[in-house]
């Protein structure tokens, strides 16, 4: 194979600009449109290949180091040629293939669904309004007036493409472009359906009945395949996505599948113990306070949390105890407490390790929300 520098007639030290100028001059001279004949055609191919290699700094470096072998040699040339000129086969031919179909997949639709925390415990049901494209009932997606049909486009002969010749630096370049008359469909619709203006679909508000599973959380997107809008010309439906928002609850918060709350108890209930009934998200729950309950103790009620999104075993309800210290005492109450303190010989305040327990975190959470 001839040396690329020799082919272009430049020195091995030629600048990129010199290489480009040499190539342009030779290409104008040897281009098959200008200079038919096998010899010119072969030289033109050589020139183009030499330029492809030497105009790419990385390829030029590799060529300088050891020739052309790393580049697939002349074998790759055909592709370059075809890409360049949209020749019969290869890349150019593929692009100018079949006419495109009017039928396309419809777009996905997104609907936001606002839930309360109690909707999440077991899941819930919603009927939501969705505004999307639906199939045109008049033409059932055919886009034509009933009794008529598309006819082949007489501009492109039904191929959907027209050949266009562009004058360029290298002579005439033939490219295939979508036919402007039929937009590349290869057919035209002489009598479009009046209901959908030939689109095969119409916009419509429809009600979608949804079963929202338990355990969902804010930001989750549920996908309903095929429930989005119908495609042009009755193409397959897109998907419907539900974006979930769960409102903050006044009392309960969530940690994984567990529900968290705080129980405020009087000092005497904490000391003596009691039972109390609280209102959970799914009905009443009985809680038992042992005598001597400490502030920060957590009462766990198994299986009264949230049903997970996948799986059936519910999380727990965890209730942190907050002991209310009396703040206003009358004289008699104060005397009783003083007597109590004397009697129990209550220990003096004592330093212990900082308690960063669950309940501390729990209160933190409430402070933030």
| Matching residue, tokens 């429809």 | 206
Q: How far is the CB of 200 from Zn ion (least distance, A)?
A: 6
Give the range of 43-51, 131-139, 274-282, 325-333 binding Zn ion by CB under 5 A: 131-139
Q: How far is the CB of 202 from Zn ion (least distance, A)?
A: 7
Write the secondary structure of 234-290 as one string of H (helix), E (strand) and C (coil): HCCCCCEEEEEEECCCCCCEEECCEEEEEEEEEHHHHHHCEEEEEEECCEEEEEEEC
- 337 contact partners, CB below 8 Å, separation of at least 6: 329
* 144 in contact with Zn ion (CB under 5 A): no
Give the range of 13-21, 42-50, 88-96, 186-194 binding Zn ion by CB under 5 A: 186-194
Give the range of 136-144, 221-229, 251-259, 296-304 binding Zn ion by CB under 5 A: 136-144
Contact (CB, 8 A) for 325 and 268: no
Give the range of 188-196, 210-218, 258-266, 333-341 binding Zn ion by CB under 5 A: 188-196
What is d(CA 256, CA 217) in angstroms, rounded to the nearest whole number? 10
Give the range of 14-22, 155-163, 191-199, 303-311 binding Zn ion by CB under 5 A: 191-199
* 177 in contact with Zn ion (CB under 5 A): no
* 289 in contact with Zn ion (CB under 5 A): no
What are the distances in angstroms from CA 218 to CA 77, 153, 280, 288? 56, 52, 21, 33
**CA 52 to the chain's CA centroid:** 39
**If DSSP codes are grouped into helix, strand and coil, which group holds residue 161?**
strand
* 196 in contact with Zn ion (CB under 5 A): yes
Question: Which of 111, 193, 289, 299 touches Zn ion by CB under 5 A?
Answer: 193
| Matching residue, tokens 């486009």 | 153
What is d(CA 7, CA 29) in angstroms, rounded to the nearest whole number? 13
Give the range of 31-39, 108-116, 137-145, 246-254 binding Zn ion by CB under 5 A: 137-145
Size of the site for Zn ion (CB under 5 A): 6
Pick the closer one to Zn ion by CB: 140 or 163: 140
CA proximity to 323, closest of 279, 274, 251: 274
Question: Which of 35, 107, 124, 138 touches Zn ion by CB under 5 A?
Answer: 138
* 139 in contact with Zn ion (CB under 5 A): yes
* 148 in contact with Zn ion (CB under 5 A): no
Contact (CB, 8 A) for 299 and 326: no
* 204 in contact with Zn ion (CB under 5 A): no
Phi and psi dihedrals of 23, rounded to 5?
A: -65, -45
* 230 in contact with Zn ion (CB under 5 A): no
Residue 283 is classified by DSSP as E
Q: How far is the CB of 86 from Zn ion (least distance, A)?
A: 37
Q: How far is the CB of 234 from Zn ion (least distance, A)?
A: 9
Pick the closer one to Zn ion by CB: 197 or 266: 197
- Summarize as ranges the residues that interact with Zn ion (CB under 5 A): 136, 138-139, 193, 195-196
């Amino acid at each position: 194979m001839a040396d690329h520098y020799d082919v272009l007639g430049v020195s091995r030290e030629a600048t990129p600009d010199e290489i480009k100028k040499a190539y342009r001059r030779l290409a104008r001279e040897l281009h098959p449109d200008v200079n038919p004949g096998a010899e010119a055609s072969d030289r033109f191919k050589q020139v183009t290949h030499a330029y492809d290699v030497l105009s790419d700094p990385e390829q030029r470096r590799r060529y300088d180091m050891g020739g052309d072998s790393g580049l697939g040699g002349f074998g790759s040339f055909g592709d370059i040629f075809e890409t360049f000129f949209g020749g019969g086969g290869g890349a150019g031919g593929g692009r100018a293939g079949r006419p495109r179909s009017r039928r396309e997949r419809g777009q996905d639709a997104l609907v936001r669904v606002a839930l309360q925390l109690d909707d999440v415990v077991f899941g819930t049901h919603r009927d939501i309004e969705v505004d999307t494209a639906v199939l045109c009932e008049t033409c059932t997606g055919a886009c034509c007036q009933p009794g008529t049909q598309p006819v082949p486009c007489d501009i492109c002969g039904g191929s959907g493409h027209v050949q266009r010749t562009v004058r360029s630096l290298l002579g005439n370049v033939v490219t295939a472009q979508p036919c402007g008359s039929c937009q590349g469909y290869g057919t035209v619709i002489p009598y479009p359906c009046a209901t959908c203006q030939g689109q095969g679909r119409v916009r419509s508000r429809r009600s979608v009945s949804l079963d929202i599973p338990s355990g969902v959380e804010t930001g989750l997107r549920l996908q309903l395949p095929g429930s989005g809008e119908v495609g042009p010309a009755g193409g397959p439906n897109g998907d419907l996505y539900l974006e979930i928002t769960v409102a903050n609850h006044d009392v309960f918060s969530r940690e994984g599948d567990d529900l968290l709350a705080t129980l405020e108890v009087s000092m005497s209930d904490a000391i003596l113990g009691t039972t109390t009934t609280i209102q959970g998200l799914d009905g009443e729950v009985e809680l038992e306070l042992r005598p001597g309950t400490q502030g920060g103790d957590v009462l766990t009620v198994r299986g009264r949390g949230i049903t997970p999104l996948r799986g059936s075993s519910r999380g727990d309800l965890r209730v942190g105890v907050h002991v209310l210290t009396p703040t206003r005492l009358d004289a008699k109450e104060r005397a009783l407490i003083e007597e109590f303190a004397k009697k129990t010989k209550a220990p003096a305040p004592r330093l212990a390790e900082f308690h960063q327990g669950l309940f501390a975190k729990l209160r933190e959470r409430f402070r933030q929300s």
